[in-house]
Structure 1
């Protein structure tokens, strides 16, 4: 089964498992009508509420560790108050990379910039699906509109040779929650406060694939 097919099934399972026992299983069509607050776990709602605390803590640690120039070089990507209309990236292929800030745990660094990888956005009604297409760690999830300046990403992490994404909310260590914003003409970010491992803040940069 391809990652895309697995994600389509995982989308239905994720939304169905969080919608409540009295509702029929969600499909791509019904997903568009759902409020992310009804989907997100309590832990993820708390992470999203405290995104600025995570941002300040993480960037302060990264700058103190000598990454100030690397952060400043990215301009609007690391300006927490810079967000343009059009938070939902259009469907298509993207090149993405992850920045990890504010190390947590023994031996973790306070600033790490990873190489670009291939990712994709698909239209799913009023929401969009996002997934990394290869690699040993592959986030998959949905972006829900939340006003003109941001969207909310909820998803899970696929690992290794897995072909099916775990249902969102089943394993807190796999759950992902972030804020999607457009920060340039064709530049988006997904900021993930308090990821489960390694860092205090992850920032995914998204650019259209060349």
Structure 2
């Protein structure tokens, strides 16, 4: 993914991002409600509205066929009950829906990349391996249908990541959902840059979709 011009406002090229001793969250807990920010709580609460607005904008701009081709991935009601996503290496890709600002596109499908999920102290850690923008965060227990992802966005020139909550503009919040056999997605409503909704598909490396 490209580094956004808006990010220049934050002076990213000159900053040194240091991971906090406590890890990815301010204090360790397996209950996401104990660490989630108020703004992220609202983003997750209104996820469906963001999904529908993003889809409507993408269809209006001529991408109805692209949306239909993706099937369950871009269907708000596609989430299935368990099992939770297992640890492993995944083929991932991101689709952005609905332009947040004038000049942005209403539909962007990025090429696949590699990400990894591994156990971490009773939770799971999801990380995008490489690229200009890297999602790094924790997957918390949610309900029978979805789990909760809280993380941050790191950039290509940074070797470490900010702790969740340290910079609100870097916070990422979403739902991890199973959408088929060996197929999951991470739904991220109202990201701080570019789009109204980001959807990341996760398929175990070597599996077919």
Q: Pick the TM interval, shorter chain.
A: 0.7 to 0.9
Tell me what 2:168 maps to. Answer: 172
Q: How do 1:55-66 residues align onto structure 2 when only pairs under 5 Å count?
A: 55-66=51-62
Provide the C-alpha distance between the structure 2 equivalents of 1:177 and 1:14, rounded to a whole number of angstroms.
13
Provide the C-alpha distance between the structure 2 equivalents of 1:171 and 1:147, rounded to a whole number of angstroms.
27
Tell me by how many angstroms 1:89 deviates: 1.3
8 Å contact 1:152–1:178 — kept in the other structure? yes
Q: Is the aligned partner of 1:12 residue 2:22?
A: yes
Q: How do 1:146-185 residues align onto structure 2 when only pairs under 5 Å count?
A: 146-185=142-181
What's the RMSD between the two structures over aligned residues? Answer: 1.5
8 Å contact 1:87–1:180 — kept in the other structure? no
- 1:47-106 CA-to-partner distances (Å, cap 9, x unmatched) read 000101101111000011111111111111111112122263111100100000001113
Q: Is the aligned partner of 1:195 residue 2:191?
A: yes
Q: Is the aligned partner of 1:108 residue 2:104?
A: yes
Tell me what 2:33 maps to. Answer: 37
8 Å contact 1:145–1:152 — kept in the other structure? yes
Please list every run of 5 or more consecutive structure 2 residues that lacks an aligned counterpart in the other structure: 1-18
Tell me what 2:45 maps to. Answer: 49
Provide the C-alpha distance between the structure 2 equivalents of 1:72 and 1:137, rounded to a whole number of angstroms.
27
Provide the C-alpha distance between the structure 2 equivalents of 1:87 and 1:181, rounded to a whole number of angstroms.
9
Relative to structure 1, the CA distance from residue 88 to residue 178 in structure 2 (aligned partners, 3 Å threshold; closer, same or farther) is same
Counterpart of 1:79 (choices 62, 67, 75) is 75
Secondary structure of the residue aligned to 2:124 is: strand
User: When the two structures are aligned, how many residues end up with a matched partner?
Assistant: 188
Greater alpha carbon shift after TM alignment, 83-92 vs 156-165: 83-92
Please list every run of 5 or more consecutive structure 1 residues that lacks an aligned counterpart in the other structure: 1-8, 20-25
8 Å contact 1:10–1:164 — kept in the other structure? no
- 1:104-156 CA-to-partner distances (Å, cap 9, x unmatched) read 11310000100000100001244211000111110100011111210000000
How does the TM-score come out when normalised to structure 2?
0.86
Greater alpha carbon shift after TM alignment, 76-85 vs 40-49: 76-85
Provide the C-alpha distance between the structure 1 equivalents of 2:105 and 2:153, rounded to a whole number of angstroms.
21
